[in-house]
Amino acid sequence: MTDETPPADETPIQRALRLKKAAIEAKPKPPRGGKFQREQAAAAHSSSRSKPWMTR
């Protein structure tokens, strides 16, 4: 998948994680900042007024 050579001291878990990240990065991503994201942000903002413990 990648052209990089893995490090010599890479463990099997590190190898699996590296390959998983590469596979995720290779997938096409949906467009950002559309109507759906605005609606979700507005809904989260409006319902957060009644939940003061959810503030950042």
The answer to whether residue 3 sits within a structural domain is: no
pTM of the model: 0.43
The answer to whether residue 5 sits within a structural domain is: no
Note the pLDDT of residue 7: 79
CA pair distance 43, 48, nearest whole angstrom: 9
Residues spanned by the domain of 27: 12-54
25-37 pLDDT, tens digit per residue, is 999 887 777 888 8
The answer to whether residue 1 sits within a structural domain is: no
The answer to whether residue 6 sits within a structural domain is: no
Band (pLDDT 50/70/90 cuts) for residue 3 is: low
Decide: residue 12, CB within 10 A, 0-12 exposed, 13-18 middle, 19+ buried.
exposed
Q: How many domains does the chain have?
A: 1
Note the pLDDT of residue 37: 82
Q: By the 8 A CB rule, do 10 and 17 touch?
A: no
The answer to whether residue 39 sits within a structural domain is: yes
4-28 pLDDT, tens digit per residue, is 677 788 999 999 999 999 999 999 8
The answer to whether residue 49 sits within a structural domain is: yes
